[in-house]
Amino acid sequence: MAPIDVPNFDALFQLFPDSADKPTAEVISPEQVPAPYHDLLVHEEHMTVKVESHYGEPVDVQVLDCRMTKDEYARKILLALRDKKTVVQFGLPRIDLTACPAPVRDAILEGKTPLGRVLIEHNMLRSIKPTAFLRVRLGDVMARWFGSRAGDVTYGRLGVISTGDRPVIEVLEILAPIGDS
């Protein structure tokens, strides 16, 4: 597996070269992330926890696509509110499976539980470091998932999740547009 490093928007999407869902994005400073996105993105917590707290209900994961090599697993996912079924986030993690104990690996590969919840439930020691914040302009496919329009603007982040001092996961997280923001 290629070493986990500072995540790159284009490189993560290149893991799925036939995707029609790639939006356009530009890197912005944390101070440029407007409310309410700022509270949802500019922190060192799992997005699963922040999104569930913001919306007041649990989220479920839908795996859109995945790819796996011997030591690496990447997937494109949507998080949707459990009761309302509204899609609230897109995610694209690349995971070093050699760093995951068997129960964590199995739960990740099963694809039924959001990644953050898997790591929390298995008490896998972790730190979360955002590496970039993004202003995202949605394309047709992602806009449809979010119940939005192509060209709408939303926000996201890139980050690294480590166990101890070992980077294990690179992740891209894009929020669905919120209100009139």
Range of the structural domain that residue 98 is part of: 31-161
pTM for the structure as a whole: 0.93
Q: Is residue 86 part of a domain?
A: yes
Closest by CA position to 170, among listed 160, 179, 180, 178:
160
pLDDT tens per residue across span 101-137: 899 999 999 999 888 888 888 888 678 899 999 999 9
Q: Please return the burial class of 31, using the count of CB atoms within 10 Å of its CB with bins 0-12, 13-18 and 19+.
A: exposed
Q: How many domains does the chain have?
A: 1
The winner for highest mean pLDDT among 28-32, 96-100, 116-120 is 28-32
What is the pairing mode between strands 127-137 and 87-96? Answer: unpaired
β-strand partners of 60: 80
**139 within some domain:** yes
Residue 65: φ, ψ to 5°? -160, 155
Averaged pLDDT for residues 27-46? 96
The CATH code of the domain that includes 109 is: 3.40.1410.10
How much is the pLDDT for 181? 44
